[in-house]
Structure 1
Amino acid sequence: MTDLRRRALEGGKTLSRKAQSKQSSRASSQANSRVNSRNVSRHGSDEEDGNASDGTNWSVNSVDEVLALEDTDLAGTATDWQEELGDRIAQILDRKRSNIAGREENFSAYVRFLTAKYAAEELYGKSEELVGAFLKSIKTESSEKETVLALKALVLTIITITSETVYDLVDTPLKRTINDSKSSVTKNAAIHALGCATFYGGASLEETQEIMDFLLEIVESDGNSVGSGDDGAVVTAALEEWGFLATQIEDMEDSTEAAIEAFIEQLDSSEPSVQIAAGENIALLYEKSYTEAEEDEEVESYDGEDPEDESPRDGPKMVKRYEPYRRIDKLRHTLSDLASISSRRLSKKDRKSLHTNFSDILNSVENPTRGPRYQNAVNQETGKRYGSRMTIRIHRTGVMKIDKWWKLHRLQALRRILAGGFMTHYEKNEVIFDSLPYVEADALSVF
């Protein structure tokens, strides 16, 4: 890992206030129906889904175990996987001699290879043809399994071989699938694929904002805008990808209030995954309302922080730039209710997930410079608050602190794509590293 990559700036693409084209005020009315999906929340407990909380519990050791199993399935020796991947690629490109079952098998193997291995060399010179082959399967929808696997294969190809033009190739086909597919599972996968293609496929900031508007319309209409009314999985996917793309935009002042209104509506959902994704987006937007003070800017007090809290002063001073939402009391009340919800209709797992996540979200709305899993407890040795204690182990000794909501959004997006292959790609794929840069300072505190 080069020093340059270690010093990578946080935040990815940025957009100045002057450069950003102003979004028109949204006039869409809020749908009356609330999401009532049968899908189970994908935000499980800390022990079950690996979301780090107080300390590090998603470590490289567990990832290595997953990859060891993957490698056993993929090949008997260290080099066999490359040969087999080459054979699979050849079969994928020879579509005339294929059938549905064969394509499903080839796509499944391809997804396993590209998840567990960084295969840029093996894909070199073939990625454009592969994208074309995947789009044919996505367009024809011969079977749900083939289509979903093709969407996953497309995403993994995009993050393995960088291209500034792939977004232009996939934008229209993916939107068509989201709008027209009869399968909720396919729509869900296509929404995630569209988010990935927008982020990594060369979309301009204007195009990114257009996709965010498209996703927000899905949220505002409870999925009805794409023919999936009250489908919790589809609405959750739209919320998650909206938040992922929002991490690229520097100035969101003009669009924040309308977005928060839409997300607050989803806090009334009966589906925990929808509620949590909406809440995480609200926290991100509050975080974005604060920026670092300029060198020549005088800061008389540290806005939004407890005067007794010394830990934020260790970093750059942050200044509140605008009020994200005018009805803050209403929002606090709703978030507080979710942080202490005791409804019997919810499973123990869902209640715990809501309590943990909304305690964090409420804390960040009240103090926007505080990130996920912020601990108010004071370290007796330093006399300072512990601060954000969500961490990810890098190698055996390093620790990355997930102390910002933008970091959490990107980490979750990468884990949706890469699952157990995250660490392999993080170490070898510069595109993935640059999405979530590991700065040496992150490793200073190990809890």
Structure 2
Amino acid sequence: MHDLRRQALESGKTVSRKARSRVASGASSKANSTLNSPAQSRANSRAPSRQGSDDEEYLSDGTAWSTNSIDDILNGDDVDLPPDAWKNELNTRIEQIVDRKRSSTDGRADSLHGYAHILMARYAKDEIEGHLRELLPSMLRSIRAETSERETIMALKALAVTIVTIDSDDIYDDAADQLKRTISSSESMQVKVGAIHALGTAAFFGGASEDEQEDIMTYLLEVVESDGLSVEAHDEGSVVIAALEEWGLLATEIEDLEATTEAAIETFVDQLESADSGVQIAAGENIALLYEKSYTPLEEDENLSEEVDSEDDEPTTGDKMVKRYTVWRRQDQLLHTLDELANISTRKVSKRDRKTLHSSFADIRNSVEKPTRGPKYSTALDQETGRTYGGGRLKVRINRTVEVRIDKWWKLQRLNALRRLLQGGFTHQYDENEAVSRTLPFSVTSKR
């Protein structure tokens, strides 16, 4: 067992407890051939990152010249450019995407890339709404045909950002089945990752019912539990991470997770043993979310009990929180595992990954022990009040008067999803796009 664990660490694979028995019983030859493939080499050479890794995959397509020229239009630095020059550029991109007969594979990829880049940086619902009946079929056709990896990835990105821009309840039904087929059948790991993120976006923003969202969560949980094997991506860390991230996003939308928790927590705890730090952190954040969701505010007609969280060292503002169910029966064992990850020192893990693991799992462990504590909760004492500083230290500034306080795990899950999708355009979209702003509540900063 120790030797197998060491081999997994050295290969950069994500291997959980359940998967090790499968690996030991005959997968070694397949693993060796996979390791020599170009896709696996790229995946293993890339340092895991919790911020921006998916965006880098989407945009690492050799079209920097196109992005730069669009940026010039968006920023309006040239005095000769009219303020709405980006609208003209967007219309050109739309025409190129829709007119497939006169376009090449590379040309469509460029057009989809430019279209998505503009939609991330500008709120353009009025500009694209009238073209939706032509745009969606064209994007789905590019995804279905998978003529080239780059065109497919760009089409998935364009589809996802279109869903957030349009904010319609009708898109999920049009896109879900094709996205599932792409996740299962594509030979490209980057395409699978893009399709998983697009599926999560469609389910969250595109009109899926709660039952449909729970079905997608079950589907994503199978991907995680099988270490990607259920979608022909065995031990592909990037695919497992994407499934974990989108499961976490959809879980924030489900009011009562008690029925889902038992199967999910076992899978996530199992993934804490992965050799991929990105998998470990994504699983850990979902564990923290499950603990957070197990507490709800005390109702007006309820009596106080020992289940109410009322620590003496914590601020007393806000609702009293009541524990509704037990998330994990072996919590002491889980806390021990989280302690180890928060203090990991092995040289087999890079210095950068160790730092990320330390920071992430200190927060995760804190929330498992005290589920009312969100990310970046500070136990340091305020010298004036004698109380802990508490949560809310993690903030995102939108403008001079508005900031988003990320004091709950559900908020962090949603923030990460929006940043993966919108990248640098997040704050502009928050200002302009109701679908984005209602996803995260904001607080008004008083002027001094």
**Where on the TM-score scale, by shorter chain, does this alignment land: which range?**
0.7 to 0.9
Counterpart contact for 1:304–1:368, Cα < 8 Å: no
Q: Distance in 2 between matches of 1:106 and 1:69?
A: 13
Q: CA deviation at 1:86?
A: 0.6
Letter of the 2:368 counterpart: V
Pair 1:31 & 2:22 matched: no
User: Which structure 1 segments of 5+ residues have no match?
Assistant: 1-28, 50-66
Where 1:81 maps in the other structure, the secondary structure is helix
Which of 178, 199, 215 aligns to 1:173? It is 178
Q: CA deviation at 1:300?
A: 4.3
Q: Distance in 2 between matches of 1:123 and 1:394?
A: 25
Residue matched to 2:241: 236
Q: Distance in 2 between matches of 1:401 and 1:84?
A: 35
Please give the TM-score of this superposition, normalised by the length of structure 1. 0.84
Letter of the 1:326 counterpart: R
Residue matched to 2:50: 43
Which of 432, 436, 442 aligns to 1:432? It is 436
- The Cα offsets for residues 235-262 of structure 1, whole Å up to 9 and x where unpaired, read as 0000000000000001111120210100
Q: Distance in 2 between matches of 1:124 and 1:184?
A: 31
Q: Distance in 1 between matches of 2:184 and 2:363?
A: 34
Which of 161, 164, 174 aligns to 2:166? It is 161
Choose between structure 1 and 2 for higher RCO, CA contacts under 8 A separated by at least 6 residues: 1
Pair 1:349 & 2:358 matched: no
- The Cα offsets for residues 126-185 of structure 1, whole Å up to 9 and x where unpaired, read as 123211110000001111000000000000110101221111111110000000000000
- The Cα offsets for residues 344-392 of structure 1, whole Å up to 9 and x where unpaired, read as 0122111110000000000000000000000000111233211121111
Residue matched to 1:222: 227
Residue matched to 1:126: 131
Pair 1:416 & 2:420 matched: yes
Residue matched to 1:9: none
Which of 405, 411, 426 aligns to 2:409? It is 405
Q: Distance in 2 between matches of 1:431 and 1:247?
A: 15
Counterpart contact for 1:276–1:358, Cα < 8 Å: yes
Residue matched to 1:333: 336
Pair 1:292 & 2:280 matched: no
Q: CA deviation at 1:305?
A: 5.0
Please give the TM-score of this superposition, normalised by the length of structure 2. 0.84
Letter of the 2:354 counterpart: R
Identity of aligned residues (%): 51
Residue matched to 1:72: 72
Q: Distance in 2 between matches of 1:356 and 1:69?
A: 38
Q: Return closer, same or farther for 1:40/1:399 CA change in 2, 3 Å cut-off.
A: same
Counterpart contact for 1:70–1:116, Cα < 8 Å: no
Q: Distance in 2 between matches of 1:329 and 1:301?
A: 20
Residue matched to 1:391: 395
Which of 104, 117, 137 aligns to 2:109? It is 104
Counterpart contact for 2:404–2:440, Cα < 8 Å: no
Letter of the 2:303 counterpart: E
Q: CA deviation at 1:302?
A: 6.9
Judging by fraction of residues, say which structure has more helix.
Answer: 2
Q: CA deviation at 1:69?
A: 9.5
Letter of the 1:194 counterpart: L
Pairs aligned (count): 394
Q: CA deviation at 1:394?
A: 2.5
- The Cα offsets for residues 38-76 of structure 1, whole Å up to 9 and x where unpaired, read as 2521226xxx99xxxxxxxxxxxxxxxxx9996425464
Residue matched to 1:197: 202
Letter of the 1:129 counterpart: E
Q: Distance in 1 between matches of 2:382 and 2:71?
A: 43
Q: Return closer, same or farther for 1:444/1:284 CA change in 2, 3 Å cut-off.
A: farther
